[in-house]
Amino acid sequence: MTPTRSAVQLSDGRELIYFDEDPGSGRSGYPDTRQLPPPPPASQLRYDPLTDEWIAIAAHRNTRTFLPPSDACPLCPTTERFASEIPAPSYDVVVFENQFPSFSDRIVPDELTQVTDMVPVRPGHGRCEVVCFTSDHDSAFGSLPPARVRTVIDALADRTAELSALPEVAQVFPFENRGVEIGVTLHHPHGQIYAYPTVTPKTAAYLRAAKRHFEKTGRNLYADVLAAEQEAKVRVVASNEHWTAYVPAAARWPFEVHLAPHRQVPDLPALTDAERDAFGPLYLDLLRRFDGLFGKPMPYISAWHQAVTGEGRELGYLHLELFSIRRAADKLKFLAGSESAMGAFVNDIVPEAAAQRLRDI
């Protein structure tokens, strides 16, 4: 069942949206009792002519909340003792504008249009949102029931559609970071959505490769990669009627899995009800396999790759990339000189062996 959507405004003017599984919850009736200062202005984008990339400068994010105690968690429901970002005393899934955004629509006129003749400057126009998966502070995405995962997917689809329609947004990126090893600053189960004003470097590289492949073959690049993995079978971890999960043949990370629908769709809003329902059980199975690798919670990044909103949209193929930096029970893969300085990855785990270990869980 599609969740009931209700939007409210926080005391500083930011938007918050409840996605309720019970239509009669009445959560939108709870006001934000805090007295918050105005949200910060948008970040500044500076162009790097050496790499043809835009870098966001967002100094206000240096003061963001860092690993607060559980009784002062800003993502838990509001209680009599603590007023959080969510005014209601409970919730299913909730999305709200980030208090410390990398991109926003709060543009302040700035006379600075360039740093040098080679480095133009523009506002970081876009939007950043926080997605809370459950009101249970001590839970995790992998502990959610499939019905709640469906609610999350519906919420992400809703936000993708709305944010993609903004004229300044080039790409919408939902993701989850889990684990202090990854760098999370809040323990509560949550993800984020970045609505970028530019196409990200990784997506730009995807698009260049996809365009070359289409011009050569007339086919979609990701569809061909997925078909090849399905035929090879050796790196497939799990699958169902609508989705396949596999370790890429050229995986960068010790444990990396792509989860892709069996038909080419540009983004989450394009998924059918059957595809949305089928995603949850398979994804939850993958998360349990990740946690089972070393018998403890696995730090991971879960990243949705969606089609861009403008030129090259027809080349996109929705898929989820799930990966961890843990390479052994007591070892992490840090981005060393080759990865950090040159972007040239060296993987410690053979992809076929990683797939087999995940299948064996």
Could you tell me the domains of the chain?
4-198 (3.30.428.10), 202-360 (3.30.428.10)
- Reported as half-sphere exposure (CB side, CA atoms, 13 A), residue 345 has a value of 10
187 is in an annotated binding site: no
Question: Is 190 an annotated catalytic residue?
Answer: yes
128 is in an annotated binding site: no
213 is in an annotated binding site: no
76 is in an annotated binding site: yes
Radius of gyration of the chain measured on its C-alpha atoms: 21
Helix axes 201-217, 221-232, angle to 10 degrees: 80
Find out whether 315 and 220 touch, Cβ atoms under 8 Å.
yes
- pLDDT of residue 49 exceeding 80, the answer is yes
Lowest mean pLDDT, pick from 103-117, 170-184, 252-266, 334-348: 103-117
What per-residue confidence (pLDDT) applies to 179?
Answer: 95
- pLDDT of residue 198 exceeding 70, the answer is yes
Token pair in block for residue 22: 């019970």
Contacting residues for 327 by C-beta, under 8 A, at least 6 apart: 254, 255, 333, 348, 349
DSSP annotation string for 211-277: HHHHHHHSS-HHHHHHHHHHHH-TTEEEE-SSEEEE--TT-SSSEEEEEEESS--SSGGG--HHHHH
3-state secondary structure of 139: coil
- pLDDT of residue 58 exceeding 80, the answer is yes
Q: How far apart are CA 223 and CA 261, in angstroms?
A: 10
Q: Taking all residues of the chain, what is their mean pLDDT, rounded to a whole number? A: 95
User: pLDDT by residue (tens digit) across 221-267?
Assistant: 999 999 999 999 999 999 999 999 999 999 999 999 999 999 999 99
Residue 110 pLDDT grade (very low, low, confident, very high; cuts 50, 70, 90): low
Residue 216 pLDDT grade (very low, low, confident, very high; cuts 50, 70, 90): very high
What per-residue confidence (pLDDT) applies to 111?
Answer: 65
User: pLDDT by residue (tens digit) across 152-177?
Assistant: 999 999 999 999 999 999 999 999 99
More confident of the two residues 1 and 313: 313
Q: How far apart are CA 194 and CA 104, in angstroms?
A: 10
Helices (H), ranges, the chain? 146-164, 201-217, 221-232, 273-293, 337-342, 351-360
Find out whether 7 and 88 touch, Cβ atoms under 8 Å.
no
Token pair in block for residue 50: 């050496």
User: pLDDT by residue (tens digit) across 288-315?
Assistant: 999 999 999 999 999 999 999 999 999 9
Residue 109 pLDDT grade (very low, low, confident, very high; cuts 50, 70, 90): confident
- pLDDT of residue 74 exceeding 90, the answer is yes
Catalytic annotation, pick one of 125, 190, 213, 258: 190
Find out whether 306 and 318 touch, Cβ atoms under 8 Å.
yes
What per-residue confidence (pLDDT) applies to 67?
Answer: 86
Find out whether 343 and 225 touch, Cβ atoms under 8 Å.
no
Token pair in block for residue 235: 């790196």
